[in-house]
Amino acid sequence: DSGVTQTPKHLITATGQRVTLRCSPRSGDLSVYWYQQSLDQGLQFLIQYYNGEERAKGNILERFSAQQFPDLHSELNLSSLELGDSALYFCASSVSGRGGGYTFGSGTRLTVV
Amino acid sequence: AQSVSQHNHHVILSEAASLELGCNYSYGGTVNLFWYVQYPGQHLQLLLKYFSGDPLVKGIKGFEAEFIKSKFSFNLRKPSVQWSDTAEYFCAVAYGGSQGNLIFGKGTKLSVKP
């Protein structure tokens, strides 16, 4: 157990639907990162939050959005889902949000059918 | 654009063989360098990291990596692999001035035959 908790572990949904992935960071960590892992693209950085505020944005589609709540948990919302959105979505957390060394959660496997 | 290249897609070794996995990154000034491992069905775990100082970094499970600035490389090594090292290995870079988000290589799958 890494201390970063992601739910659900698996999600199967239909095209056009909307889903929400949840991440609870390790205790004491203020920064949350979201990554997408797919076979063709590898691990792609989506977005980072630090203490409730958006810090950095990567290759995140407009159909995707995220937020970090006052209790520091984060949610990634994926809407108008397409087959190509099927992937493993990882959350990671760190104390400072700088430097890059952080702890990953176990991921949510999203399958869009 | 900033990028990370891992030379080998799949490496197959016998137990006790030595391992070296290549990693190169594109120039971007100051960097922090990482190797992560992902065992089948599990999350990514940090093997080792380099921020500054001694370019030879020792990590967990007997792994080490050497930062060669002139070659923009950060190769991972292990003198003698075990079957339990079968996993996927990812090199990652955080560029100086970034907010800490990592750029990952595509990964190298290591299969160790018993």
pLDDT at A18 over 90: yes
Task: With beta carbons less than 8 A apart as the criterion, state whether B42 and A107 touch.
Answer: no
Question: Tokens standing for B73?
Answer: 């490389």
Cα–Cα distance measured from residue A13 to residue A39, given in angstroms and rounded to the nearest whole number? 19
- pLDDT for position A111: 97
Pairing of β B10-14 and β B108-113: parallel
Other Cβ atoms closer than 10 A to A80: 13
The SS3 assignment for A84 reads helix
B33: left (phi over 0), alpha (psi -120 to 50) or beta: beta
What are A34-44's pLDDT values in tens digits? 999 998 888 99
What are A38-96's pLDDT values in tens digits? 988 889 999 999 999 999 898 899 999 999 999 999 999 999 999 999 999 999 998 87
B5 part of contact set with chain A, CB < 8 Å: no
| Mean pLDDT of all residues in A30-37 | 94
What are B45-102's pLDDT values in tens digits? 999 999 889 999 999 999 999 999 999 999 999 999 999 999 999 999 988 755 567 8
**Roughly how many angstroms between the first and final C-alpha of chain A, as a whole number?**
30
- pLDDT for position B29: 81
A55 part of contact set with chain B, CB < 8 Å: yes
- pLDDT for position B102: 86
Pairing of β A108-112 and β A10-13: parallel
Chain A partners of B60 at a C-beta cutoff of 8 Å? none
CB within 8 Å: A100 and B102: yes
Chain A partners of B49 at a C-beta cutoff of 8 Å? 100-101
Question: Tokens standing for B24?
Answer: 């190169």
Q: How does residue B12 score in pLDDT terms, banded at 50, 70 and 90?
A: very high
Beta-bridge mates of residue A5: A24
- pLDDT for position A102: 85
- pLDDT for position A1: 76
- pLDDT for position B100: 67
Residue in B with minimal Cα distance to A32 = B101
Looking at per-residue pLDDT, the higher value among A28 and B101 belongs to: A28
pLDDT at A100 over 70: no
pLDDT at B31 over 80: yes
CB within 8 Å: A107 and B43: yes
In terms of DSSP H, where are the helices of chain B? none
pLDDT at A99 over 80: no
Distances (CA, A) of B113 to B11, B13, B16, B56, B63: 11, 6, 10, 28, 18
